[in-house]
Amino acid sequence: MGQAGEIQWLAPEFGLGTLLQIFIDTSHDFCTQAKSGREDKISRLQSFAIGFACNGTASLTEPGVKPPSDPKAGGARPGRRPRGLLGSSLVVGSMTMLSRVLGLIRDIVFARVIGADGLADAFFVAFKIPNFLRRLFAEGAFSQAFVPVLSEYREKGSLEAVQALVNRVCGALGSVLILLTILVVVGAPVVAFVFAPGFWGDDLKFDAATGMIRVTFPYLLFISLTGLAGGILNSYDRFAVPAFTPVWLNVCMIGAALIGAAWWTEPAYALAWGVFVAGLVQMLFQLPFLMGLQLLPRPELDWGHEGVRRILRLMGPAIFGVSVSQINLLLDTVIASFLPTGSVSWLYYSDRLSELPLGVFGVAIGTVILPNLSRQHAGSDPEKFSATLDWAIRMILLVAVPACLALVILAEPILTALFYDGEQIDQRDIFMSALSLRAYALGLVAFMLIKVLAPGYYARQDTRTPVRIGITAMVCNMVLNILFVVPLHLIWQIGHVGLALATSLAAFVNGGLLLRGLQKSGIYRAASAWRIFALQILLANVAMTSCLWLLTQQVADWQRWDHLAGLLWLMAVCCAGFAVYAGALFAAGLRLRDLRGHKPQHQSQ
The whole-number average pLDDT for the span 573-596 is 86
Q: How much is the pLDDT for 46?
A: 41
Q: Is 491 exposed, middle or buried (0-12, 13-18, 19+ CB in 10 A)?
A: exposed
Question: Does residue 538 have a pLDDT over 90?
Answer: yes
- CB-CB contact of 90 with 239 (8 Å): no
Can you tell me the distance from the alpha carbon of 75 to that of 93, in angstroms, rounded to the nearest whole number? 26
For residue 426, give every residue at least 6 positions away whose Cβ sits within 8 Å of its Cβ, in sequence order, or none.
420
Q: Confidence class of residue 543 from pLDDT cuts 50, 70 and 90?
A: very high
Tell me 359's DSSP state.
I
Amino acid at 78: P
Can you tell me the distance from the alpha carbon of 128 to that of 344, in angstroms, rounded to the nearest whole number? 11
Task: Give the C-alpha distances (Å, rounded to integers) separating 262 from 123, 203, 276, 279, 570.
Answer: 17, 24, 18, 22, 32
Can you tell me the distance from the alpha carbon of 257 to that of 568, in angstroms, rounded to the nearest whole number? 25
- CB-CB contact of 332 with 499 (8 Å): yes
The whole-number average pLDDT for the span 42-50 is 40
Question: Does residue 277 have a pLDDT over 80?
Answer: yes
What residue ranges in 438-507 does DSSP mark as E strands? none
Question: Does residue 17 have a pLDDT over 60?
Answer: no
The whole-number average pLDDT for the span 363-390 is 75
Distance of CA 571 to the CA centre of its chain: 25
Can you tell me the distance from the alpha carbon of 247 to that of 99, in angstroms, rounded to the nearest whole number? 5
Amino acid at 411: A
The whole-number average pLDDT for the span 270-282 is 90
For residue 543, give every residue at least 6 positions away whose Cβ sits within 8 Å of its Cβ, in sequence order, or none.
580, 581, 583, 584
Q: How much is the pLDDT for 246?
A: 83
Flag the least confident range among 165-174, 205-214, 376-385, 465-474. 376-385
Question: Does residue 44 have a pLDDT over 70?
Answer: no
Per-residue pLDDT tens digits for 293-338: 888 888 888 888 888 888 888 776 766 655 565 666 667 767 777 8
Task: Give the C-alpha distances (Å, rounded to integers) separating 428 from 308, 339, 424, 555.
Answer: 51, 15, 11, 19
15 or 517, which is more confident? 517
Q: How much is the pLDDT for 417?
A: 81
4 or 411, which is more confident? 411
Q: Percent of the chain, pLDDT > 90?
A: 10
The whole-number average pLDDT for the span 591-597 is 70
For residue 507, give every residue at least 6 positions away whose Cβ sits within 8 Å of its Cβ, in sequence order, or none.
324, 325, 328, 443, 446, 447, 450, 473
Q: Which of 310, 288, 366, 474 is nearest to 92 (CA)?
A: 366
- CB-CB contact of 211 with 1 (8 Å): yes
Q: Which of 439, 440, 412, 446 is nearest to 428 (CA)?
A: 412
Q: Confidence class of residue 428 from pLDDT cuts 50, 70 and 90?
A: confident
564 or 325, which is more confident? 564
Can you tell me the distance from the alpha carbon of 184 to that of 361, in angstroms, rounded to the nearest whole number? 33
Q: Is 154 exposed, middle or buried (0-12, 13-18, 19+ CB in 10 A)?
A: buried
Task: Give the C-alpha distances (Å, rounded to integers) separating 239 from 227, 429, 487.
Answer: 12, 38, 46
Can you tell me the distance from the alpha carbon of 381 to that of 599, in angstroms, rounded to the nearest whole number? 14
Can you tell me the distance from the alpha carbon of 461 to that of 369, in angstroms, rounded to the nearest whole number? 14
DSSP 37-81: T-HHHHHHHHHHHHHHHTSTTTT-PPTT-PPP--GGGTTPPTTPP
Q: Is 520 exposed, middle or buried (0-12, 13-18, 19+ CB in 10 A)?
A: exposed
Q: Which of 77-81, 213-217, 353-357, 467-471 has the highest mean pLDDT?
A: 213-217
Q: Which of 35-49, 74-88, 170-184, 303-317 has the highest mean pLDDT?
A: 170-184
Per-residue pLDDT tens digits for 448-486: 898 888 888 877 878 788 878 888 888 888 889 888 888
Side-chain-facing half-sphere of 97: CA atoms under 13 Å: 8
Q: How much is the pLDDT for 535?
A: 92
Q: Percent of the chain, pLDDT > 70?
A: 75
Sign of CA dihedral 446, 450, 452, 453: positive
Q: Which pTM does this prediction carry?
A: 0.63
The whole-number average pLDDT for the span 551-559 is 72
Per-residue pLDDT tens digits for 216-258: 888 888 988 888 888 888 788 787 888 788 889 889 988 888 8
Task: Give the C-alpha distances (Å, rounded to integers) separating 291 from 392, 500, 568.
Answer: 32, 43, 44
Question: Does residue 412 have a pLDDT over 50?
Answer: yes
Sign of CA dihedral 490, 494, 497, 499: positive
- CB-CB contact of 84 with 69 (8 Å): no
Can you tell me the distance from the alpha carbon of 124 to that of 147, in angstroms, rounded to the nearest whole number? 31
For the chain, the domains span: 1-30+85-297, 316-525
What are residue 600's phi and psi, to 5 degrees?
-60, 145
Q: How much is the pLDDT for 38?
A: 40
Q: How much is the pLDDT for 576?
A: 92
Question: Does residue 54 have a pLDDT over 70?
Answer: no
Sign of CA dihedral 105, 107, 111, 112: positive
Question: Does residue 15 have a pLDDT over 50?
Answer: no
How far the first Cα of the chain sits from its last, in Å, is 62
Q: Which of 338, 356, 343 is nearest to 433 (CA)?
A: 343
Q: Which of 495, 458, 226 is nearest to 342 (CA)?
A: 495
Q: Confidence class of residue 73 from pLDDT cuts 50, 70 and 90?
A: very low
Q: Confidence class of residue 540 from pLDDT cuts 50, 70 and 90?
A: very high
Mean pLDDT of the chain: 75
The whole-number average pLDDT for the span 57-67 is 36
Task: Give the C-alpha distances (Å, rounded to integers) separating 561 from 56, 115, 346, 406, 422.
Answer: 43, 20, 22, 21, 12
Q: Confidence class of residue 544 from pLDDT cuts 50, 70 and 90?
A: very high
Q: Which of 258, 198, 269 is nearest to 6 (CA)?
A: 269
Flag the least confident range among 95-104, 293-302, 445-454, 572-581. 95-104
- CB-CB contact of 132 with 330 (8 Å): yes
- CB-CB contact of 100 with 171 (8 Å): no
Question: Does residue 50 have a pLDDT over 60?
Answer: no
Can you tell me the distance from the alpha carbon of 68 to that of 220, in angstroms, rounded to the nearest whole number? 35
The pairs formed by 175-178 with CB atoms below 8 angstroms and a separation of 24 or more are 175/301, 177/220, 177/221, 177/224, 177/225, 178/20, 178/221
The whole-number average pLDDT for the span 69-77 is 44
Question: Does residue 168 have a pLDDT over 70?
Answer: yes
Q: Confidence class of residue 601 from pLDDT cuts 50, 70 and 90?
A: very low
310 or 31, which is more confident? 310
Q: How much is the pLDDT for 541?
A: 93
Tell me 199's DSSP state.
G
Sign of CA dihedral 27, 29, 30, 36: positive
Q: How much is the pLDDT for 191?
A: 86
